[in-house]
Structure 1
Amino acid sequence: MPEPVVLSVFIIDDNETTRAILRMIIQGENYHVIGEANNGISGLARARRLRPDIVCLDIEMPDSNGLDILIEIKQTLPNTAVLMVTGNNDRATIVTAIQRGASGFILKPFNSGVVLDTLNKAAAFLKSHLKK
């Protein structure tokens, strides 16, 4: 029986509490949190260096717009799934994020079931593309 694939996750969010909650929910037998950043600029640099399978990316941060960071991540790491973390679920934001390559959304306030379900959907997509 093959070993289960553990996917690496990187968290970019300016809110320390949000990062801590996401880390506690995500870290487990299927996912390993390999790092985090409290702003988009340093998060982008670290994600490029660490090359995670999945990035959880806040949309609204003081130093940068997550939608712009999304473009940069997808250009540099096209095989990385990016999950947008946001309290803003207006249609224009969602459409823009999808057009720019977002793989899914974690809407605030969130719970562990929603976060893990979103991660599992992204993981299933990644695993199906890794086999090809």
Structure 2
Amino acid sequence: MSKRVLIVDDAAFMRMMIKDILTKNGYEVVGEAENGNQAVEKYKELQPDLVTMDITMPEKDGIEALKEIKALDSNSVIIMCSAMGQQAMVIDAIQAGAKDFIVKPFQADRVIEAISKVFS
């Protein structure tokens, strides 16, 4: 059975890019969210196997959403996505429970490698 993924990013273009990479590699994208509030709601509703979470978003950033999802489900698997130069935020995210992080712009092989690693 393919792994079910929730994609969270405030940029529709970025969601489309990562969705394309995932579906071509056999993952099922079950939902998308454009901010942290939506991410938490969609997580509760969809119970995905994996969440890709942007760090910088309006309303609620990825780190806050990560903490909320972890509080709901300590077994949740979340990979953070960040632009270059956000190392401090990435460290915060890992300490808060993120399994890995992917740097934007997305490179297909790095995305798949990160996801394969968390499921192996």
- Give the TM-score taking structure 1 as reference length: 0.85
Query: Counterpart amino acid of 1:34?
Result: V
2:6 touches 2:29 (CA, 8 Å); kept in 1?
A: yes
Query: Counterpart amino acid of 2:15?
Result: R
Change (3 A) 1:74 1:88: farther
Distance in 2 of aligned mates of 1:18 and 1:118: 17
Distance in 2 of aligned mates of 1:121 and 1:78: 19
Deviation at 1:94, TM superposition (A): 2.1
Query: Counterpart amino acid of 1:27?
Result: T
Report % sequence identity.
34
SS of residue in 2 equivalent to 1:9: strand
SS of residue in 2 equivalent to 1:62: coil
Please name the residue that 1:107 is paired with: 103
Deviation at 1:29, TM superposition (A): 5.7
- Does residue 120 (structure 1) correspond to residue 116 (structure 2)? The answer is yes
Choose from 24, 44, 51 the match for 2:20.
24
Report runs of 4+ in structure 1 exceeding 4 Å deviation: none
Q: Give CA deviations for 1:18-64 in whole Å, capped at 9, x if unaligned.
A: 00010010014641110101111112101111111100001000211
Query: RMSD of aligned C-alpha atoms?
Result: 1.4
Change (3 A) 1:76 1:88: farther
Please name the residue that 1:39 is paired with: 35
Query: Counterpart amino acid of 2:47?
Result: R
- Give the TM-score taking structure 2 as reference length: 0.92
